[in-house]
Structure formats: structure tokens, C-alpha cells
Amino acid sequence: MALVFLIFFVLPLAATVLVSFWQYTQYSIEPAFTAQNYGDVFYGCLRDLPNLCTTFRTYLSTLKFGLIVWAATLVIGFTIAYFLAFHVRTLKVQVILFIICTIPFWTSIVIRMISWIPLLGRNGLVNQTLLFMGAIDTPLEGLLYSDFAVILAMVHLYTLFMVVPIFNSLMRIDRALIEAARDAGATGFQTLAFVILPLAKPGILIGSIFVVTVVMGDFLTIGIMGGQQIASVGKVIQTQMQFLQFPLAAANAVILLVAVLGGVWALLRLVDIRKEL
């Protein structure tokens, strides 16, 4: 396992950090040691104060998607996991419903995103239904190629990453604790808030780490559902790689990695996951 970790994680990460200090021109990449790439990432940020520079606006846009998708997947994922763990009595039915949740993952991520276009497009099913009902006079333009479309697709794609760890934590809860809370006079909300949620914190934390790390680096969903009009850090890195600006892309990747690791560290400060597990 240590060898696999070294080959597939440590070495690529070390190569990315190394390349981030190389020089590049329009025609070549030269091994060197320079911090110019990191300076180029934040070029103009001090000059534009008090306004935010492009880099900070891009990171804020990425963070916005991360927080909204995290909150939505947490609510939906916890609800689904809670239903499966406490309201489905037989293991067979739990397995069947869990498999149903995984069905979207049997198809390509691109197909799952494209499937929203006939629904959200200007002449899509949603607009046509609203026009038929008389709820609107003209088709809604903001359903597709917008922040709403990006968030909707991400929630659709990544909710399962929240369901699985939360479901695992909920299944480990001793049902006698819930019965004890009820016998002590706790309401359903009090049982949820003071018994179930604290015991489900490891699953919530693991699911949050999965969702946040994936969303922060996502560029494919933003490119397709945003119509190539919405900026994100992952999209910037992809564009720089297309123009063969590998050192600059590597510098952006390192900065993004540090930002994501900072968020993960903050989450780990909330729960001692090794102790809880």
C-alpha cells in the first residue's frame, strides 16, 4: 500500500510542485528554479485593490460552488441515508434502494450532464411545461448555462459521495441509545440533534471532504453546464494546459491544493475522526 501511495500520489504531486518552479516560453519549457509562476498567478492583485483581481474572483467563484454544493449534498445525502438506515427495516430492501442510488454512476459523467440539456434548455421540458401551464410568458434563460445549471449538475453527480459515509455511520449507531433517548422524554428533533447527529459526525466529515475536494477541482461540469462562460480554478488550469503553459498550470494546482488542504484541516479540527472511528 505504501508503494502504491508513493507511485500514484507522492511522485505525481512532487512532479507538479517541481514543474511549478520551471520557466516557460511560447515555444518551450525550461527546467529552472523561479517563483515567477506564482507571481504571475497573483499578478495585479495588489494593483487592483480595493477591487478583487481576477485570481481572487475566480477562487471566490470556486469556493461559492463548493459551499453551495456541499450544503445541498449534505441535506439531501443525510436525508437519504437517514431514511435507509432508520426507516427501511429489512437488509434486502436497503440493498435494493442503495443500488438504485448508484444507478447514475453506471453511466459516463458526460452523459449524466448532457441529460440535463433537454430538460433545462430554452425549448426544454421544464420551459415547455411552464409555458403550457401559463406560469411564464417567455422561456427562462437562466436554467441552462448558468450557475444554477452548474450547481444542479454537481449536486446530481456528487450526492452519493455524501450518502455512503453518512449511511455507514448511521448503521453503526446502537439503536438502544435512541430508545434510551425516547424513554427519557426526548422529542424526535432532540433525538436527532443530540444523539444521531453527534454520532454521525465521522460520516458527515468524510462525505464533506469527498464533496469539497472534488467540487473545488472540477472543470468538466463547469465547462459543459456553464457553457464555457463561468470561471473556476479547475477551468483556469485546464485552459493553461491547453496552451502548454504547464509551469503556470502547476503553480495554480499547487495553490489550489494548499487551499483545499486548508479546508480539510479546518474540517478535521471539528472532529477527531481517528478517535470517532
Does residue 118 belong to any structural domain of this protein?
yes
Per DSSP, 226 falls in state: T
Q: How far apart are CA 136 and CA 133, in angstroms?
A: 8
Does residue 28 belong to any structural domain of this protein?
no
Q: What is the pTM of this model?
A: 0.86
pLDDT tens-digit readout, 97-131: 888 888 878 888 888 888 888 888 888 888 889 88
CA proximity to 63, closest of 272, 206, 262: 262
Q: How far apart are CA 180 and CA 186, in angstroms?
A: 9
Q: How far apart are CA 219 and CA 221, in angstroms?
A: 6
Does residue 144 belong to any structural domain of this protein?
yes
pLDDT tens-digit readout, 123-152: 888 888 988 888 888 888 888 888 899 999
Cβ-based neighbour number of residue 108 at 10 Å:
9
Does residue 250 belong to any structural domain of this protein?
yes
The C-alpha cell at 134 is 401559463
Q: Report the domain count for the chain.
A: 1
Q: How far apart are CA 122 and CA 227, in angstroms?
A: 13
Q: Give the domain range for residue 73.
A: 61-173+201-276
Is the pLDDT confidence value at 42 over 70?
yes
Contacts of 48 (CB under 8 A, 6+ apart): none
Does residue 7 belong to any structural domain of this protein?
no
Does residue 44 belong to any structural domain of this protein?
no
The C-alpha cell at 240 is 493553461
- Indicate which CATH number applies to the domain containing 269: 1.10.3720.10
pLDDT tens-digit readout, 67-94: 999 999 999 999 999 999 888 888 888 8
Q: How far apart are CA 79 and CA 206, in angstroms?
A: 16
Q: How far apart are CA 150 and CA 72, in angstroms?
A: 13
Q: How far apart are CA 122 and CA 221, in angstroms?
A: 19
Does residue 140 belong to any structural domain of this protein?
yes
| β-strand partners of 23 | 30
pLDDT tens-digit readout, 165-216: 999 999 888 889 999 998 998 888 999 999 999 999 989 999 999 999 999 9
Does residue 38 belong to any structural domain of this protein?
no
Cβ-based neighbour number of residue 233 at 10 Å:
24
Cβ-based neighbour number of residue 154 at 10 Å:
25
Q: What is the mean pLDDT of residues 18-22?
A: 90
pLDDT tens-digit readout, 224-241: 888 878 888 888 888 888
